[in-house]
Structure 1
């Protein structure tokens, strides 16, 4: 039986590219073969990367450059990585063209939505309309296992995966999907109305999550189901 190759995008540092080991662990636990995708510039080689994987996992990281969705930078915009944005844009081009499964986590969800014509809030705490009382979406301590509730829409693929209308998630973000891209629908929100999951209505498995199933995988059934279904979809 052929095991699926799961391409995982990397975090770009000053002199290296790396990825948190938890992404590798959860994919391998579900018998997928993790393949780290280093950022490169040659478009033919990027296309070859996508042609040699069975699914694409877009990981988290710094903020997305607002120029990609035709906005000026907000005062609360964090660090951006234009080179990573450009690279991942091309990865998504070829992944959607091939119609392979794509799972975007946090920043990865934003990239998916922007790529397909949507927008994001550059900072939910200062851009959400006045009078909306937001819950806490961003950690103060990276070691804290911070969770909040997410409400899953019953008519979504996400509900078909987790089989629950309400789950607890680990989340850490100050940005979020604003205008949902054409061809996508909202699959989950928090109690304060922040979009926590989007999914393609045109592809079998193209999903963006604001939360981090890789961080709760070892103790949480819904997180396990998400990773499992992603790897299973790669094998179809």
Structure 2
């Protein structure tokens, strides 16, 4: 490929769907249901060269069909962090530590993920998104990580990200991008337990907690337990956008 062709591809701005929250929010004189998302996700995708499109949860008797129609124009899907996933999705009893579940969001994001995998577009799952990827492949979660590892370093205090040292497989994603050992910002009290079909663990915290997984046979289907949108290192987002550009024509991008 010639240099001008490479430059043209680099300038393409693929459409990146980002799963959003449905929460009660306040702005101005209003307090009501809203579709919301921490703006760091939007900034990271835009800075990496993608066009961020927020996808709030919806209800429909044809959830799979609506999700497929929503995913159809996208070039990649980003599953954002958020509250605990209902344990019914991995055939477990809900423990007291599992709180603030969002059944509507669970069902919607699982449908979005199914549609994205059917289309074979890149997927990046962040924190809850990584857990959702594991559940969609038949895996399970630890419902309260401190009971397993004996400390709360992965979520040290409300609204406080904890720096966690992790080791990564250098010949797999995301270690091939980030190196063999880094510190990452974490905020989670749950984590992957039994691994889902086709997934490989590609990073762990020093305490053994699974911090990244990759789906075999796909160019870019990755889940990370930490919050890269809170970091100054944009390499993971750059790689997502680069993967989204592959095979995309100029007419399909903004």
TM-score past 0.5 threshold: yes
Aligned to 1:100: 121
Q: Quick check: 1:37 aligned with 2:55?
A: yes
1:27 to 35, 45, 48: 45
Show structure 2 runs of 5+ residues with no match. 1-7, 25-32, 247-254
1:155 to 171, 177, 186: 171
Which residues of 2 match residues 44-55 of structure 1 at below 5 A? 44-55=65-76
Distance 1:109 1:145, change over 3 A: closer
Which residues of 2 match residues 10-159 of structure 1 at below 5 A? 10-14=20-24, 15-42=33-60, 43=63, 44-126=65-147, 128=148, 132-134=149-151, 136-142=153-159, 144-159=160-175
Q: Distance in 1 between matches of 2:137 and 2:161?
A: 32
Offset of 1:124 from its aligned partner? 1.1
Aligned to 1:235: 245
Contact 2:58 2:104 in 1 (8 A): no
Q: Deviations over 1:96-138 (max 9, x none)?
A: 0000000000001110000011111111122x2xxx5446111
Show structure 1 runs of 5+ residues with no match. none
- Larger mean CA deviation between 188-197 and 33-42 belongs to 33-42
- Give the superposed CA RMSD: 1.3
- Larger mean CA deviation between 9-18 and 112-121 belongs to 9-18
1:206 to 208, 221, 225: 221
Contact 2:125 2:133 in 1 (8 A): yes
Q: TM-score, normalised by structure 2?
A: 0.85
Offset of 1:139 from its aligned partner? 2.9
Query: Is the radius of gyration larger for structure 1 or structure 2?
Result: 2
Offset of 1:45 from its aligned partner? 2.5
